[in-house]
A and B are shown apart, each in its own frame.
Chain A
Amino acid sequence: MSSPSSWIRNLTPITESLLAGVVGLVIGAFIMLAFGYNPLAAYRSLFVGSVGSVYSWAELFANATPLILTALTFAIAMRGGLFNIGAEGQLYMGALAAVSVSLLHLPAPFNWIVAILAAMVAGMIWSLPVALLKLGRGVHEVISTIMFNWIAHFFAFYLIANVLTDPQRGERTIAVSESARLTRVFPDATLSSGLFISLVTVGVIFFLLWRTSTGFEIRSVGYNPHASHYAGISIRKQVLRVFLIGGAIAGLAGAIVVMGRPPYYAVLSGLPQLVNLGFDGIGVAMIGRNHPIGIVFAAIFFGGLMTGGRIMQFDPGVPFELVRVIQGIIILALAIPELRRLFFLARERLAGRK
């Protein structure tokens, strides 16, 4: 049996994520070959399209911004031993709450702060029943969060078509008032100051998890609920905390998308700018090993795939959906803890055959 050198062993989680990424890209290349596309041309276009210019970097970070937040929602729950896949619905609610604040016509310094707070509260409200159903009735969060995602989906459709509708344009909501919009970092790029809000949130969650007693209790329950219970930690309190914090962050993600993404600054019918950001966040969290810093890098990777995927669609003409296939394969590869061992075993066998 092969024994990887010790420095690799210390970097296990990082090598596992990198290896899964390589597996995803390689299998993705074979799928492209099977469909008659040139994988080298596609990957070159994807790479250049995502990191080839200042503009593409800005686009990449704009795509990564909400993913960092929805990934944090999933990661903090995983740290607490919970499988929260409800960021998707909480994100819709956050975006719509942020838009609705513009109906109040608040004075300039307050309106964006109130919009962000409203979005966080909306996310928490959407997350609270999940925690209560789990604590009161023992309903598994995988089931309840998915049901709430679908309820949010149709509720959002209702709000867009009937309550927050733009009087001139029926297919979208009213726009976020100009003074509540997040500042654009470059004049022509979509990147907004929302990135900094995301990064600050990363710092806050990192601090919370590893530098406070709350974080210690959350991680301790995730690691061993029975031992934590006997140590006097209230598991019920941690479950509530994890879902409420997660809901607030997912709501914030929705606010940042709608307040920071030109040109409409409104929620469009069918939610095209929001759909899947919550689910993509799950993938980002898994690749980032549920660690705030890892999540930033994983979100940059996913942001790059999304940005470059759009370019790849034009140049060699490979459909954007291939990016999602690659993401799925990466997650499947990540699920296999043996992957790294299998990889070294295969390498040894190949070396032995020479």
Chain B
Amino acid sequence: MELTHLWGILFISLHAMVPITLAAIGETIEESAGLFNIGLEGILLFGALAGALGAQASGSALVGLLTGMGVGALIGLVFGTISTSLRGSQLISGVGINLLALGFVALMLSVMGAPGFHSVAREVQVPLIPLGVGNLSPLVPITVAIAIGVWWLLRRTQLGIWIRAVGENPAAADVAGIRVNRVRLGAAVAAGVLAGLAGAYLSIDWFGAVTKEITAGRGFIALAIVVFSGLNPLLALLGGFIFGFFDGLATWVATYPGIKDIIPWQFVAMMPYVVTLAVVAGMIGRVRFPSALGVPYLRE
């Protein structure tokens, strides 16, 4: 194998790492605070559409990313409100967000006259950083920075202690004067922002298009990575890279002449999902989750 292929696989892996890791870090904040959001997939999809529309309307990729984050925040707010003050079911509202996203994005694509596919002009896509051996998206270093920042936030700051307190023992946190539902709502919005950014990255950076299937289970793979990481954002980064590597390898194998004739592409495409299962199955047992995860807090 030539060196250029190695660089190619590394760059694809890093690019594939970004959306999964960003969503996983958001979910880490949320799960630390005691909320379990299976609607990540839907927020990614909303973010992908919003990012593309924002970038096209303004002619700026940055505005596109911000639009994705804003819409993600809005969906996070809906999920957070249902899960906190409205005392709703987190699993059911997560399913609702996924269904709504699938319908709404398909509706928008259809209204825009491009059923199923909408490409984003190159001029408004995120500009890549030329590195000589390949072009790297600026979102790669940003993702690494966010992982470190959120790790610091959760483990080294007062806010981090509050977040973990409302996830671990909301009643005690309440007695200590922490506003449980407000902290949880904030965590849900933060998770929405990161998942929205991940979605916008998919459409205006990595793929340069919006499709109904653009997320391809990445929101759920992010949930699996949260399990792998045991709520540590730095391990989420590592997990994201491992899955990114298999995602990248699948893309590479599917196009590499000698190999694609031996292994059918469908089996290569299964790889990230099989690896996810294998890694999660190998990890569980050593990981401990917050006691109040998924349980609405009712003051007695």
Which residues on A are within 8 Å of B, measured CB to CB?
31, 35, 83, 85, 133, 136-140, 142-144, 146-151, 154-155, 157-158, 161-162, 279, 282-283, 286, 319-338
Contacts and interface: CB of A to CB of B under 8 A. Distances in A.
A147 B224 contact: yes
A324 to B, nearest CB: 3
Interface stretch (B5-13, B100-108, B162-170): B100-108
Given A138-B285, A337-B89, 9 more contacts: A143-B276, A148-B277, A319-B107, A323-B103, A328-B103, A329-B100, A332-B97, A336-B86, A336-B93
Given A138-B285, A286-B95, A328 B110 contact: no
A333 B103 CA distance: 16
Nearest to A138: B284
B284 A282 contact: no
B96 A321 contact: no
Contacts of B276: 143, 147
Contact of A321 (B95, B110, B221): B110
**Interface SS of chain B:** helix
Contacts of B216: 150
B144 interface: no
Contacts of A320: 110
B88 A338 contact: yes
A286 B92 contact: yes
A319 B38 CA distance: 27
A331 B281 CA distance: 31
B38 A338 contact: no
Interface string B69-102: 0000000001000100011111111011111111
Contacts of A335: 82, 88-90, 92-93, 96
B280 interface: yes
A99 B266 CA distance: 20
A325 B104 CA distance: 5
Contact of B92 (A150, A155, A323, A334): A334
A140 B38 CA distance: 12
A157 B281 CA distance: 26
B234 interface: no
A286 B93 CA distance: 11
18 contacts: A139-B277, A139-B284, A143-B223, A146-B220, A147-B273, A150-B217, A151-B273, A151-B274, A158-B266, A158-B267, A282-B95, A319-B111, A324-B107, A325-B107, A326-B103, A327-B99, A328-B104, A331-B96
Interface of B: 38, 78, 82, 86-93, 95-104, 106-107, 110-111, 216-217, 220-221, 223-224, 227, 264, 266-267, 269-270, 273-274, 276-277, 280-282, 284-285
A331 B224 contact: no
Contacts of A138: 284-285
Nearest to B212: A321
Given A143-B223, A147-B276, A338-B88, A328 B93 contact: no
Nearest to A159: B266
Nearest to A322: B107
A337 B111 CA distance: 34
Which of B87, B101, B227, B280 has the most A CB atoms < 10 Å from its CB? B280
A83 B91 contact: yes
Given A133-B277, A332-B97, A337 B88 contact: yes
Given A144-B277, A324-B102, A335-B88, A35 B111 contact: yes
Closest 4 CB pairs of A and B: A328-B100, A324-B103, A332-B96, A331-B96
Nearest to B103: A324
Contact of B267 (A133, A154, A328): A154
Given A35-B111, A137-B285, A331-B96, A336 B101 contact: no
A242 B214 CA distance: 32
A143 B267 contact: no
Contacts of B38: 142
A140 B95 CA distance: 16
B102 A328 contact: yes
Which of A35, A329, A336 has the most B CB atoms < 10 Å from its CB? A336
Contacts of A282: 95
Contacts of A334: 92, 96
B78 A332 contact: yes
A333 B89 CA distance: 10
Contacts of A140: 227
Which of A143, A149, A157 has the most B CB atoms < 10 Å from its CB? A143
B101 A328 contact: yes
Which of A282, A283, A321, A331 has the most B CB atoms < 10 Å from its CB? A321
Nearest to A150: B273
Contacts of A338: 86-88
B250 to A, nearest CB: 10
A207 B98 CA distance: 33
A71 B131 CA distance: 52
Contact of A328 (B82, B89, B97, B217): B97
Contacts of B102: 324, 328
B92 A321 contact: no
A151 B267 CA distance: 8
B281 A327 contact: no
Contacts of B217: 146-147, 149-150
B225 to A, nearest CB: 10
A138 B286 CA distance: 11
Contacts of B96: 328-335
Contact of A154 (B269, B277, B281, B285): B269
A144 B277 CA distance: 6
Nearest to B100: A328
A320 B116 CA distance: 13
